[in-house]
Chains A and B, each alone.
Chain A
C-alpha cells in the first residue's frame, strides 16, 4: 500500500467495483473488479476503447448508470462517504454539489427550448449555491464568465442553438463547476469537438480546476490526451484495469501487452515520436528511429507501418492522377429573417494535385469544406466553378458511359462503417455490386473476384453469406474497402475512413491501406480532421480552413516548418506535446 505513507485521505477510493447490465440472459458484467484511488486536487484519466467499461465506471460513481445497469459489488468511498449505500435522494445531494459532471456530447446536453441562462440558474438553485433572483443571476453571470464567454450577461438570454459546440461545452463545464465540487467527472468532454477547440477547452478546464482545487476524473479513448492531461493513468480493457500508475511512466514503459498495443497504435503518440526522431537526427528518415516493434504490437504499430510505406515508395516523379483547379462550390442556404437567402461558399478556389501512387491528405476541421471537395471529385456534387482533371481528363462534361468509366477508376470509402453498407444485402452481394453494375465477367468469375477481395482485406471467406450487422466496425470498413477495390480502381477517396474506429482497429486499417497502396499502386485522397493520422499515412498535406487551402506541402515540411498560424494551431492541438517518450 503506497498511499499509507501520505497523510492525506484519498478523495475517491473505489474498491473491487463490479457493474453489470441486466438482460434477458441474466447479468452481463461490464466492470469487473476495478480499484481506483484519486487524491484531492489530482487528475486521473481512465483510458480504454469502446466497451472497455471506462464510462460505466464513471457513471457508477454518481449512480447514473443507464437503464438496466446495476452496481453488483464493491465499494465507492467518496470523501468519507460510502456512495453505494446511498439512496437516490441522497445521491441527488451529492451530484452537482460535491461531484460535478461534464457529459460527452455538448450538442444534446443543453435543452434547446430554454435559454442558456435559465439552465445555468436552474443548476445554481438546485444546488443551493445562491438564492434570490438577483443573487442567482449574478452567480450565473459569474459562471459563464469563468467558462470563458465574453459578454456573459448578454449570453444568458441566448438559446443553445446560438452557441457553437465549443461554447456549449464551456457552459457545461461552467455548470459542472458552479458549485465548486471536490470532484469533476469529465466523460470524453471534447470528443465531439474540433481539435483546436478541444485544446482550448481542456486548457481552460485545467486552469479552472487547478484554481478551485477540484480533482478531475477524466475519461478518454486517446492515450496521448490522457497522458498530457492527467498525472495518473488507468488503462481499462474488457471491464478490468490492466495497467495503472503515473502517466509518464506508463507511456515510457508500458508493461502490459494491451498497453503496449495502445501506445503503438495511438496516432497522436506515433506522430510525436516520428516528429522527435526527425528533429533529433535532422535527416528526415524514419529508419533512424530506434524502434523495434514487438510481437504483441505486430500489425498495429503505426511507426512501423509508416516506415514500411516510405520504403515501398518509388522516389521517381510520376504523372498527376488528380489535378484540381480553382474548385468552388456555393450552396444557397436559407438566411435569417423572412425570405432572405444567403450563400455559403463551402469550397473556395481550391487547387491541388495528387501524384499517381501517392497519398495526399486533405485536413481540416468541421465545416472546412474538405468533404465537399471530395464529393465534387467523386462527381456526387457538381462544382459551381473550377475544373477537376483525372488522369489528364476533364471530368465535368462526362455523362453516361464515360461517367461510368470514370467511376470505375475512382472509388470512395466513407466514414461511418455502420452506415455505408446496406443492412439487407449480404457481404458477397455488397462487394459484388460494383462488378454487377459494370457488368464485369460472369457469375462464376464475379464470385471468384469477391473471394479474392475478401482475402486482400484479410477477412475470412465465410463472411460472404453474412450480413453487415454481424460484423464489427473494423470489419465493415474492410468490406467497404473491398467494395471500393472491386473494379481495380487507380484512385481511392477515403472520406474520414478511419475516424470512427477504435485506435487498435484504426491502426490495422491504416496498415491495410498502406499495404494495398504498395501492392496495387493506388492513389489515395485522404480526407481527415486528424493531423496525427496524416503523419503516418500521407506524402502530401493540404490544410483547409473555411473552404480555402491555407497551406499545402509535403508532410515533412508541414510538420517540421508550418508556415501558417492555423497549421501551427492544428499541430499544437495534437495531444502529447510535452511528453518525452521512451523510444
Chain B
C-alpha cells in the first residue's frame, strides 16, 4: 500500500479500505459477564486453582468422613511396644511414642484443625464485615468509635492475646473456646480492608443515582455498596483460614491449646518434639499435613485475588 503523502493535497482514503462501522453497537453474541463471572472464567483456566481446590476438597472429605480413609482407630489398639516404631504395611507412616498409628491420628485430627479454621474465619468475617461496613458507610462518630475499637484489637498480636485468653480459661479448652480466642483478635484486618473499600465505593455515581431514585440509605448499602466491596474481603478470608489453622497448631504446640485428649495436628506436633531425632516421622507427617492444607488455602486466596483484581489481570 503506497498512498500519496497526505500533505497539501486533499487525500481521501478509499471507502472499501476504511468501511464505516455502525456507531455504538454492542456484541451480544457472547455470554453475559460481570466481575464474578469473569473471575470464575479466569480461575477456571488456572492449574493452581484446581490443585488447591482439589486438596481443600480432599481435606474437607477427610474431616467429615475419617473412617473412609483409615480403618485403624487412632487411640485404641495403641501398643507401647510399637513406640516410635517404623512404618509397616498396615501402618504406613509408623507409630507415635504411645504406639499409636501416625496416619490414623493425622486423618482423625483433620476435623479439629479444619473446624478451628472455619469457625475462626466465620467469626472474623462476620465481625469484620459488621464493623467495617458501618464504619466505612456511615462515617463520622460511628466510624471513629468502631475504628478505634478495631485499632485496640489490632495493636495486640492475636497469637499473644490467644495465649493469654487460653491460659485464663484453661478449664474450658475446647474447639469453640480456642476459635473464639483466636477470632476475637483477628477480625480488625478484615474490617480495615472492607472499610477502605466501602469508603471508595460509596462515592460512586451509581450510589448517588440510587439515592436520587429514592432508595433508602441502608438498602443502598446492602444492594449496591456491600456487593461491590466484598471482593477483597473474600481474598482476606481465604488466606486467613490457613492462618487460623496455624494459630491453633501454635497454641496446642505451646501447650495452651486443646487438651491432649483431643486429637489435633498441633497436639501431635507438640508431642513429637522430644523424639525428633529418633522418630522424625512423628513430627514430619503431621507438619506436612498442616503445611499442605494451609498452603492450599493461601494458594486459593492468591488465585482468587488475581482473578478479582483487574489490574493484576491486565499485567499478565
Contacts and interface: CB of A to CB of B under 8 A. Distances in A.
5 contacts: A241-B11, A403-B214, A422-B210, A425-B223, A471-B26
A296 B316 CA distance: 41
B168 interface: no
A474 B24 contact: yes
Interface in A61-114: none
B32 A244 contact: no
A240 B15 CA distance: 11
Contact of A437 (B30, B204, B214, B228): B214
A470 interface: yes
Contact of B206 (A245, A422, A438): A422
Interface stretch (A120-128, A231-239, A338-346, A575-583): A231-239
Interface of B: 1-13, 15, 17-18, 20-21, 23-28, 30, 32-37, 204-206, 208-215, 219, 223-224, 227-228, 316
B13 A243 contact: yes
A195 B32 CA distance: 40
A33 to B, nearest CB: 5
Contact of A469 (B8, B25, B28, B34): B34
A155 interface: no
A566 interface: no
A73 to B, nearest CB: 11
A37 interface: yes
Contacts of B210: 422, 433
Contacts of B205: 414-416, 419-420
A433 B206 CA distance: 11
A351 interface: no
A311 B18 CA distance: 36
Given A10-B7, A37-B5, A437 B18 contact: no
Interface centre among A39, A255, A261 (most CB of B within 10 A): A255
Given A261-B20, A412-B209, A463-B26, 12 more contacts: A16-B1, A37-B5, A234-B6, A238-B21, A253-B10, A407-B212, A407-B213, A412-B208, A423-B34, A433-B210, A437-B219, A504-B23
Contact of A255 (B12, B208, B227, B228): B12
A415 B208 CA distance: 12
Contacts of B7: 2-3, 10, 37-39, 232, 244
Given A35-B6, A508-B24, A470 B32 contact: yes
A242 B228 contact: no
B1 A33 contact: yes
Contacts of A13: 5
A257 B13 CA distance: 10
A240 B26 contact: no
Contacts of B36: 424
Interface centre among B35, B208, B214, B227 (most CB of A within 10 A): B214
A369 B212 CA distance: 19
B316 A466 contact: no
A407 B214 contact: yes
Contacts of A404: 214
Contacts of B204: 419, 422
Interface residues of A, number: 76
Given A412-B209, A467-B33, A424 B227 contact: yes
A35 B17 CA distance: 15
Interface of A: 1-3, 10, 13, 15-16, 24, 33, 35-39, 232, 234, 237-238, 240-246, 249-250, 253, 255-258, 261, 296, 300, 378, 380, 403-404, 407-408, 411-412, 414-416, 419-426, 433-434, 437-438, 460, 462-463, 465-467, 469-472, 474-475, 480, 483, 487, 504-505, 508
Nearest to B5: A37
Contact of B28 (A16, A246, A462): A462
Given A411-B213, A422-B228, A474-B24, A36 B5 contact: yes
Nearest to B225: A422
A79 B34 CA distance: 50
Nearest to B219: A437
A304 B3 CA distance: 35
B35 A423 contact: yes
Given A35-B6, A36-B6, A378-B212, A245 B228 contact: no
A3 B26 contact: no
B227 A380 contact: no
A403 B206 CA distance: 20
Contacts of B12: 242-243, 255-256
B15 A244 contact: no
A480 B25 CA distance: 17
A416 B203 CA distance: 13
A380 B13 contact: no
Nearest to B37: A467
A243 to B, nearest CB: 5
A378 B208 CA distance: 10
B18 A256 contact: yes
A258 B10 contact: no
A257 B20 contact: yes
Contacts of B209: 412, 414, 420-421, 480, 483
A250 B10 contact: yes
A468 B172 CA distance: 53
A261 B36 CA distance: 39
Contacts of A250: 10
A508 B24 CA distance: 9
Given A37-B5, A380-B212, A419 B28 contact: no
B213 A466 contact: no
B214 A469 contact: no
A469 B310 CA distance: 12
Contacts of B8: 2-3, 245-246
B5 A1 contact: yes
Given A3-B8, A419-B206, A463-B26, A35 B3 contact: yes
A2 B8 CA distance: 7
A234 B5 CA distance: 11
A535 B205 CA distance: 27
B106 to A, nearest CB: 41
B35 A424 contact: yes
B113 to A, nearest CB: 34
Nearest to B7: A37
A1 B11 CA distance: 11
Contact of B24 (A15, A35, A253, A475): A475
Contact of A256 (B4, B13, B211): B13
Contacts of A505: 23-24
B205 to A, nearest CB: 4
Given A2-B4, A245-B11, A463 B28 contact: yes
Contacts of B34: 423-424, 426, 467, 469
Contact of B316 (A16, A24, A437): A24
Nearest to A426: B32
